[in-house]
Structures are given as structure tokens and as C-alpha cells.
């Protein structure tokens, strides 16, 4: 029986699509909603991608809400060319998905998160896999949720390895460093699943062939999605061995923290654009002597995770 009340916050993208499937199929998860964000694609595109993928996965009952459409410090957002190269112009490898019969919810994703934090408190697990703008906005409206949410497991940041946008900055944090700093310095029960561990979890076309061989629409679609992603990693020189399971690892860790080894460290994010380490996730010197509220993943049981991930994916894609 599902024991984890989960909210995903996705900028749906390819690896977000994988994270969504994992949350849908894991019997320990009750996915109570998804908030759409900007990043890999536009926020409204991410929302529609999410609805359509839920429809593909026979999970139309999961509601989708709109989050913020741009960073807290700007008035607009344009998808970066590198994001289009990795995820496709539409965020899902340029695949045309069957449109969901369900509509996007009218309630804002920010208010939904606040309401669910008060309703479920310790039972709630929140997993943002894009910019942290939505959570920062929710904290501004209702600071109490910093202590209410049972666990926030985010995909983003880099502590022990270089970033993937600059030598210091990971892509999700780069989208809104100021919001990320607000989250890292305020939100309790926080786990950072960054490039330190996600880059060690690779999927290859040998894996996706198993999805394709299922002979189902979902298996074919997800194989096409992931193959596009793997080809992008290869063509762009990111990794010639396969593509990283960034967002699915965050979902897996939110369910089972034993997949990773962590260090306890109060964190902050530099957001002064005049500094060379703009967008860096780093230990907060001002809070070194305070009780720690954040865990940072620095090691991962990658073979175990990839094996388990494949088992779950085959289970959800075979129908």
C-alpha cells in the first residue's frame, strides 16, 4: 500500500518523464499532484507534456497544476538552445504524444503545495526536479511550510564536481539562483541530489531496447524518448557511454534514501552575478555551527539503482 504522499515539481523534459513514470509505478508512492515549472521547456508546455505522459501511463487521475513561468528576478523566460538540443523543441524529444482528456487544474501550483503541506505535514514528500522558484514563492507566501513538509528531495546543484552550465553551476540552480538560496537557507528536511551522484547513473540503448521489446505504446514511446536523450548526450559530448538519470534518482531517493550516501551540511547558493561562482551550491559559512537541516548526496549505489529503476519501468511500460 502506498505510504508516501508525493508532489512532483517538473519542467518536463525527458528525464522528468522518467521520474514521472517511476513515481506512478512505485507502489509505495501516492502521487497526489504534479506542479509544472519552466526550464527544459516553457511552463505551460511542461504542464501539457505531464498530462499527456500521465495519460500514456494510464494515470489520468493525477492532477497537474501550473507553477511559476519564469525566475523570481526576471519577467520572462526563454528556453536555452542547449535545453532544446538535449530535450527537443517540445521537451519530449520532438515526439507527438496523444493529448490527455484531462485539463490543467485552475488552482495555482503554489497554493496547492501550501495546502498539501498543511494537510499532510510529515507525510508529504516534495520532489522538485527543475528550478526552485515554485518552492521559494510558496515560502514567501507561507513561511510555515519550511517546517511542515516532511521531506524535500531536489534534483540540482553540484558540491564535489563541476557544474554543467559553468564550472560552478548546475542547470536547475542556474535558472533561479536567488530562489535556490531562499530554499537552501529556509527549508528544513532538505536533501540535495546533484550532479555528484546523478552523473554516475547511466542508461544505455541496451536498456531502452528492453522497453521497446515490450511491444506496447508506452514502451515504444519511452524508448524513443530516452534514445533521443542518449543521442543528445553523445552528439554534444556530454557522455558517450549513455545518459544520466538525473530526475529519476531524486524520486528514488525521496522514496528510499539508502540509494545514496550523504553528508549533513547547511547550504546556500551564491547569486551575485558579479562573482565568478554565480549559482554555486556551497556550505553556508554563517550556519556552520547551527544544527544541519540539509543532506547532500555525495555517493550512490548506482548498479542497485539502475537495476531497480529498470524493474519499475518495465512494470509500468508493459501495460
Mean pLDDT of the chain: 96
Work out the average pLDDT over 271-284: 93
For residue 1, pLDDT over 90 is answered with no
Own/partner pairs, 118-122, CB within 8 angstroms, 24+ separation: 118/144, 118/145, 118/148, 120/5, 120/32, 120/150, 121/148, 121/149, 121/150, 122/150
- Domain positions in the chain: 4-317
pLDDT score of 76: 92
Question: Domain 4-317 carries which CATH code?
Answer: 3.90.245.10
229-264, pLDDT tens digit by residue? 999 999 999 999 999 999 999 999 999 999 999 999
In the chain, the percentage of residues whose pLDDT exceeds 70 is 99
pLDDT score of 171: 96
100-120, pLDDT tens digit by residue? 999 999 999 999 999 999 999
For residue 53, pLDDT over 90 is answered with yes
pLDDT score of 30: 96
Work out the average pLDDT over 145-173: 97
Work out the average pLDDT over 39-63: 98
Model confidence band, residue 2 (pLDDT cutoffs 50, 70, 90) = low
pLDDT score of 21: 98
Work out the average pLDDT over 184-202: 97
Amino acid at each position: 500500500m502506498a505510504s508516501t504522499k508525493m508532489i512532483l515539481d517538473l519542467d518536463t523534459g525527458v528525464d522528468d518523464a522518467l521520474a514521472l513514470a517511476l513515481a506512478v509505478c512505485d507502489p509505495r508512492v501516492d502521487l497526489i499532484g504534479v506542479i509544472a515549472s519552466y526550464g527544459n521547456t516553457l511552463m505551460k508546455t511542461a504542464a501539457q507534456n505531464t498530462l499527456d505522459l500521465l495519460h500514456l501511463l494510464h494515470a489520468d487521475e493525477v492532477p497537474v497544476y501550473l507553477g511559476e513561468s519564469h525566475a523570481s528576478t526576471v519577467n520572462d523566460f526563454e528556453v536555452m538552445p542547449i535545453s532544446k538540443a538535449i530535450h527537443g523543441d517540445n521537451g519530449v524529444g520532438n515526439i507527438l504524444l496523444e493529448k490527455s482528456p484531462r485539463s490543467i487544474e485552475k488552482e495555482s501550483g503554489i497554493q496547492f503545495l501550501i495546502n498539501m503541506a498543511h494537510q499532510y505535514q510529515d507525510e508529504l514528500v516534495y520532489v522538485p526536479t527543475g528550478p526552485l522558484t515554485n518552492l521559494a514563492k510558496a515560502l514567501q507566501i507561507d513561511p510555515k511550510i519550511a517546517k511542515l513538509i516532511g521531506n524535500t528531495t531536489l534534483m540540482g546543484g553540484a558540491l564535489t564536481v563541476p557544474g554543467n552550465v559553468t564550472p560552478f553551476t548546475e542547470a536547475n540552480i542556474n535558472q533561479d539562483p536567488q530562489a535556490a538560496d531562499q530554499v537552501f537557507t529556509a527549508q528544513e528536511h532538505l536533501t540535495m541530489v546533484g550532479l555528484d551522484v546523478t552523473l554516475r547513473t547511466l542508461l544505455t540503448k541496451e536498456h531502452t531496447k528492453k522497453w521497446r521489446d515490450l511491444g506496447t505504446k508506452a514502451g515504444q514511446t519511452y524508448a524513443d524518448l530516452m534514445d533521443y536523450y542518449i543521442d543528445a548526450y553523445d552528439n554534444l559530448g556530454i557522455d558517450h557511454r549513455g545518459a544520466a538519470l538525473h530526475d529519476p534518482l531524486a524520486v528514488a531517493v525521496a522514496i528510499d534514501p539508502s540509494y545514496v550516501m550523504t553528508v549533513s551540511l547547511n547550504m546556500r547558493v551564491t547569486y551575485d552575478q558579479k562573482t565568478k561562482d554565480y549559482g554555486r551550491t556551497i556550505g553556508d559559512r554563517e550556519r556552520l555551527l547551527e544544527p544541519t537541516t540539509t543532506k547532500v548526496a555525495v555517493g550512490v549505489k548506482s548498479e542497485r539503482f539502475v537495476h531497480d529503476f529498470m524493474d519499475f519501468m518495465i512494470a509500468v511500460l508493459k501495460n
